Structure 1
Amino acid sequence: METATVGPVSGNVLFYTKPEPLSREEHGKLGVLRMDKPYGFASIGHVVPLTVAEFGFAGINFPIIFAGEQRVPLCVMGVNAGENLFIKNDGAFATGAYIPAYIRRYPFVLASDESQNRMVVCIERNAPMLGENAEVPLFDDKGEPSEYTQSAIKFCEDFETERRRTEAFVDLLTSLDLFETKQASFQTTLPDGTQSAPVVLADYFGVSEEKLGKLPAEKLAELRDSGALDKIYSHMASLLGWDRLVMIASERAAQTA
C-alpha cells in the first residue's frame, strides 16, 4: 500500500486524536522513539476492539463481549470507563497479558478515502513515541518508507483483513440468531456476612448457550468445520473473567488508597 496525500481524516477512532495521511512531505523527518513502556496511550481504553482471530489468546485474560447494533467484538480490560487495568502508570503492559492487535498497530491506522475508493495509511501525529530525527525513521534517505514503516503498513493491512473476517463471523452468528442480551454484575460481602445489592458492570450481547444447543446438527457441523465454533467457545469461556477483573480493580483501588 502506497503512502498518499489526501484531505484530513475524519471520524472517531479510539486512541487517535490527530490521524494524518502518511506522506514523505509531512512526515519525512519523523521517526519512532524506542520506548520500553509505550502503552500509556491505551490506559483510557477499558474496552478495545478485537478480531475473531484473537479470541483464543484474548479470552485467557479478558471477557470478550459484543456491543452495539453491529455487535462489534470487544475485549474488556477494565470495569470503569477510562481505566485499563492491564496498563500501569508508567506505560508498561501487565506481564504475561495478551496485547490486542488494535493496540499493537498504534500509531498507524488505515482510513477510508471515499473520494478515490481506497484505504489510506495514516499515523497518529500526537503519538508520544513519534519525534523528529528519532532512532527509527519513518522514511529512508531516498524518501521511501523505511523497513519499519513497511512492516507497520503490512500489519495494518493484515488487521484490516482480519477485521473483515470478523464482520463475516458476526454476520454468521446474527443470521443464526445466536445473540442474546447479557449483564455482568458483582456483589460484595458485608461485615455482617450478607451480600450487598448487585452492582451492574455492563450490559452487552453474547452468544446464548441455549440457542447454540438448539441448532440443527448440520448447522453445528458447519460451525465446527469452519472454525467458528471454537471462536464461540472461546468467547463463552472468557465471560468467566468478569470476577477476575473485579479482583484486579479492587486490588488497584486498595493500592491507590
Structure 2
Amino acid sequence: MTTTAQPGLGQITGNVLFYSQPEPLSPEMHGKMGVKSMDGPFGFAKPGHAIPLTVGEFPLAAVTGPIIFVGDEKMPISVMGLNAGDNMFLRDDGLFEPGAYIPAYIRRYPFVFANDEGAKQMVLCIDRGAEFVVDKGYDQPFFEADGQPSQYTKNCIEFCNNFEIERQRTASFVQLLKDLDLFETKTASFTPTSPDGTQGEPQKIAEYFGVSEEKLNALPADKLAEIRNNGALPQIYAHLVSLVGWDRLVALALARAPAAPQAANA
C-alpha cells in the first residue's frame, strides 16, 4: 500500500503491509463511520507470511515460529508461513490457530501511523478498505456526536502510540546488534524423505540474517554484561531459540500437503 495525500495534511508517504486504502482519521471524513464486530476479524492477514515484530514481542512470538532479520535495516520478522501470501497459522474463518501468537502489527489494524512530510509529524490513519470499517451497522464509532474521538478510538490511539515506542526501541536494539557485529547470514533448509526412507537433496527454504552464536560467545566480558544488564541478551536468546520453529513450519506444510496417491492392492 502507498499512502495518499489529503488536503491540508501535506504528502503522506510509506508502504505498509495490509493497508489498501489509508486515510488520515478525521471527524469530517469519518464522523459517521466505525467498526463492526466480526467472528473472524483477521482474514486480512492471510497474505502475511512474514510479519514485522517489535523486540518486546520476541519471547511470545518465539513459541510460534522463527524470528529473523531481513533487509539492509535488519528488520525483525515473525515468519508465519513458508510461501509468500500464505499465513499458515491463520484459518479460513479469519481466526488464528489456538496458541499462535498474534503480532501487535496485526492487532493494531485498521489503524496505523503515517509520515506527513509537509507537517513533519506522524498522522493517524485508518484503512478505509478494511472489511470491518463501515458507515452503518457498526458496533464501535470512531467519533462521538460532538466530534471527539470515541473511547474505542482513544484506546486504539494509545495502542498505536505504544507500538511506535516499541518500534523505536526495536530500532535501537537492532543498531546495538549491528554495532557489536553480531549478525551473520543464515540458511534454513529441509531434507525431504521418500516413502522408502531414502533422503533427497536438501532444499533451501530461506536465507536471512540472524545472530551468530559464535560472535555472541566471543564478546568481551564487559560487552556481554552490558547487553545482559540492558535487557538485550534475553531477546537475543529468544531469537536464537525461535529458529527451531523452521521445523514446525515444515511439519505443518507437510501435514497440509495433498496425500500422494496410493497404489491399489491387487
Fold conserved between structures, TM > 0.5: yes
Judge conservation of contact 1:8–1:21 (CA < 8 Å) in 2. Answer: no
- Residue 90 of structure 1 is matched in structure 2 by 93
What do the CA deviations read for 1:223-250 (whole angstroms, capped 9, x no partner)? 1000100000000000000000111122
Q: Does 1:46 align with 2:49?
A: yes
Q: Which of the residues 187, 196, 200 maps onto 2:191?
A: 187
- Give the conservation status (yes or no) of the 8 Å contact 2:80–2:88: yes
The C-alpha deviation readout for 1:59-107, integer Å capped at 9, x for no partner, is 0111000000000000000001110001011111111211100000000
SS of 1:99's partner is coil
Residue of structure 2 in register with 1:210 after alignment: 214
Q: 2:186·2:209 contact (CA, 8 Å) conserved in 1?
A: yes
May I ask how many residue pairs the two structures share in their alignment?
253
In the aligned structure 2, how far is the partner of 1:31 from the partner of 1:250?
Answer: 41
- For 2:175, the aligned partner's letter is D
Q: Deviations along 1:36-76, whole A, 9 cap, x unmatched?
A: 21000000000000000000000011100000000000000
Q: What does residue 140 of structure 2 align with?
A: 136
Normalised TM-score (structure 1): 0.95
- Residue 5 of structure 1 contacts residue 21 of structure 1 at CA under 8 Å; is this kept in 2? no
**Residues 5 and 22, structure 1, Cα contact 8 Å, conserved in 2:** no
Per the alignment, residue 112 of structure 1 pairs with: 115
Unaligned 5+ runs, structure 2? 1-6, 262-266
Overall identity of the aligned pairs, in %:
57
Alignment of 1:126-165 (within 5 A): 126-133=129-136, 134-165=138-169
> Conserved in 1, the CA contact under 8 Å of 2:14 and 2:114?
no
Among candidates 55, 58, 62, match of residue 58 of structure 2: 55
Q: Which AA in structure 1 matches 2:220?
A: P
TM-fit CA distance, 1:7: 4.4
Contact 2:111–2:156, Cα closer than 8 Å, also in 1? yes
Cα distance in 1 for partners of 2:52, 2:101 equals: 13
Distance 1:193 1:249 in 2: 19
Ranges of 4+ aligned residues in structure 1 off by more than 4 Å? none
Higher helix share: 1
Corresponding position: 1:77 with 2:66: no
TM-score (norm 2): 0.92
Tell me the distance in 2 between the aligned counterparts of 1:7 and 1:176: 39
Q: Please state whether the residue corresponding to 2:46 is helix, strand or coil.
A: helix
Q: Using the alignment, how far apart are the partners of 1:196 and 1:172 within structure 2?
A: 40
Which amino acid is the alignment partner of residue 79 of structure 1? Answer: L
Q: Distance in 1 between matches of 2:208 and 2:33?
A: 41
